[in-house]
Structure 1
């Protein structure tokens, strides 16, 4: 930082010290010399005019009032002006720069009146009288009032600059607060997104692995070959889940070496269903309709996660010998996804609660779909079983 910038910064940050130094300098230069003369009144008046300069910014109205009272008193007792009278101009500037508007305009009026009265009382000598002196009076008054107006104008400019800087600082502070809030909201949204991804990956994979392990345990007694095949499926599912977790955690670590394979899309729904079938759940898949235009990649991921979560819930809560039906129907509004099962129906809700579920999966579905103006409806079927129906419109395509 340059020297003049450092000086300007110090002056802005220490205005109380600056005003005290200015008042002390004015007292030493304009008042103290009178103490060494035989004119004590001039010393008293000069001291009363210079000392209030120490409070010209902190107590502007009070300091200016003191100077005004002293100056008016000089006129009343016919005391001639002194060099310290320059403090009147300093107070006019201070009132315009730091005082309320009423005090600024009032000080301007009092100073202007005092200048006119002072010129009329002390401006001309005893030889300048009569009509011939009127032009000189007018000239003196013009210059006196012009100086007062000039000081007031400079003070008003300083006031406007100060208010502008303050407004900019307030705006910058508000913007910083808004940026911090946006960062916090983005972090919260990212945490929610990560929680949904981890839930979808872990819950689905573990449900498939548990179902496979239970099936292998019962089938191994009759046919050991089935157990070996099932264990292979479990290992494959675990490795796939591990890859997904590594990819997700690699993104969190900002790791350039982390695998970043494409996220699941509609084209991978059949592979997902095949994985669930290997876990022992009978699942049928039907397609109908033709899309008017393709969905965004994020919307296709949402459809995949809805199907994945729905089938995971069937595995966990529908009970033994349940089956499911997945329907992907392209309508005039968008893609309608329906997952029905013939399991325990309404009892699945209580089963989820008894099993320690928190509804994170259904809540995650709703949050994902909301990003694409989609909706989800869940509930038991009349004849038994449970239904999940979701709609993703074309609006975000």
Structure 2
């Protein structure tokens, strides 16, 4: 980094030190000569005007008040101008750039009034008081002095305008920095929400895959254990179902984990859709659950792939709950009905219903099911039936383009 860039960054990072060094340099340049000239009044006045510049940014109102008071005293008591009086322009600039709006306008008015008093005190009054000036000479010099007053007022106005522009730029930079900070915070929040949503989606997928497969495996394992002694053929069939279910679950798990790989090289297969419901029902029947199926109506339009996956998971989770909670010798029915508004799913069983849920779980399956369906503006209604059993009803509307 070049030297002037480093100096600029240091000045931006330490404005107080910059102002202090500037005040010290001005004091040595404008006030110290009065010390060698044995003019203590001008030395004190110069110090009073220069010292407040050290805090012109941190305390602009106090700095401006001290400078204004010192300049007023010098105009009243002084006999000739002092070089430090020109620094009143720096005070006008600082008030416009860093002080509140009322102080900025007050600094402009004080600067204009001070310029008028400066011309009046050091140019107009001494010349009009000189007895040797003739009337013609005074008439010639008054317009010149008037032009001088206008010029000083213009310089004050320019100093205030530059300060006001500096204020506008500073506020604009602060607004941009604040906006950048807010955008960064919002971006971090969006990342957190996206990560949470992805974790929730993965948790739903893993629950649907693992819970269903384990329920079938447990049911078949229990049946094979009891049938091994009496009917070995049934035990062999049950073990075959266990193996098939385990392999299917392993394939689904590999597909899910493959999505998480960053290189995109993991092999994947199509996600389940409504066309895969017969395969799901066949697998459940082979596991020993009696399941009936009824399909009504025809689709008015195609559902998105995600909506069809959601419908598949609703049926899968509902049948898994039958395995887990309905008890032995329970039967289930699945109704898929296409209406003018969308797809209706109805899964019911004649088992023990909600009273069987003694596992102490937190209802992750039903909760995940409701979350899935809500993503497509659908609804889920689940609860026990009056005569026994449990029923899950889901509705997924058509998604209009």
Q: For residue 194 of structure 2, what is the aligned residue in structure 1?
A: 186
Q: For residue 64 of structure 1, what is the aligned residue in structure 2?
A: 64
The answer to whether residue 347 in structure 2 is matched with residue 342 in structure 1 is no
Q: For residue 291 of structure 2, what is the aligned residue in structure 1?
A: 283
Greater alpha carbon shift after TM alignment, 283-292 vs 143-152: 283-292
Alignment of 1:304-343 (within 5 A): 304-343=312-351
CA distance in 2, matches of 1:164, 1:377: 54
The Cα offsets for residues 245-295 of structure 1, whole Å up to 9 and x where unpaired, read as 222223234353423212111111111111111110011111111111010
CA distance in 2, matches of 1:95, 1:239: 78
Contact 1:295–1:396 (CA<8 Å) still a contact in 2?
no
Q: For residue 6 of structure 1, what is the aligned residue in structure 2?
A: 6
CA distance in 1, matches of 2:19, 2:389: 84
CA distance in 2, matches of 1:169, 1:190: 31
The Cα offsets for residues 77-99 of structure 1, whole Å up to 9 and x where unpaired, read as 13321111121000000000000
The Cα offsets for residues 128-147 of structure 1, whole Å up to 9 and x where unpaired, read as 65222221111101110011
Contact 1:207–1:312 (CA<8 Å) still a contact in 2?
yes
Q: For residue 394 of structure 2, what is the aligned residue in structure 1?
A: 390
Contact 1:123–1:140 (CA<8 Å) still a contact in 2?
no
The Cα shift of 1:240 comes to 1.3
CA distance in 2, matches of 1:22, 1:184: 48
CA distance in 2, matches of 1:86, 1:356: 84
Structure 2 residue corresponding to 1:371, chosen from 375, 378, 384: 375
The answer to whether residue 252 in structure 2 is matched with residue 244 in structure 1 is yes
The Cα offsets for residues 151-206 of structure 1, whole Å up to 9 and x where unpaired, read as 00000000000000001111111111111111111111111111111110110000
Q: For residue 200 of structure 1, what is the aligned residue in structure 2?
A: 208
Structure 2 residue corresponding to 1:226, chosen from 234, 243, 262: 234
CA distance in 1, matches of 2:323, 2:211: 11
Q: For residue 102 of structure 1, what is the aligned residue in structure 2?
A: 102
CA distance in 2, matches of 1:39, 1:384: 109
Q: For residue 171 of structure 2, what is the aligned residue in structure 1?
A: 163
Matched position secondary structure for 1:81: coil
Structure 1 residue corresponding to 2:363, chosen from 356, 359, 364: 359
Report the count of equivalent residues. 393
CA distance in 2, matches of 1:122, 1:319: 109
Contact 2:212–2:317 (CA<8 Å) still a contact in 1?
yes
Q: For residue 38 of structure 2, what is the aligned residue in structure 1?
A: 38
The Cα shift of 1:302 comes to 0.4
Matched position secondary structure for 1:258: coil
The Cα shift of 1:221 comes to 1.9
User: Which runs of no fewer than 5 residues in structure 2 stay unpaired?
Assistant: none
Alignment of 1:74-85 (within 5 A): 74-85=74-85
User: Which runs of no fewer than 5 residues in structure 1 stay unpaired?
Assistant: none
Relative to the length of structure 2, the TM-score reads 0.94
Relative to the length of structure 1, the TM-score reads 0.95
CA distance in 2, matches of 1:318, 1:276: 14
Greater alpha carbon shift after TM alignment, 256-265 vs 287-296: 256-265
Matched position secondary structure for 1:389: strand
CA distance in 2, matches of 1:56, 1:379: 73
The Cα shift of 1:3 comes to 4.2
The Cα shift of 1:342 comes to 1.2
C-alpha RMSD over aligned residues:
1.5
Alignment of 1:118-157 (within 5 A): 118-123=118-123, 125=127, 126=130, 130-157=138-165
CA distance in 2, matches of 1:218, 1:102: 93
Greater alpha carbon shift after TM alignment, 302-311 vs 223-232: 223-232
Greater alpha carbon shift after TM alignment, 216-225 vs 34-43: 216-225
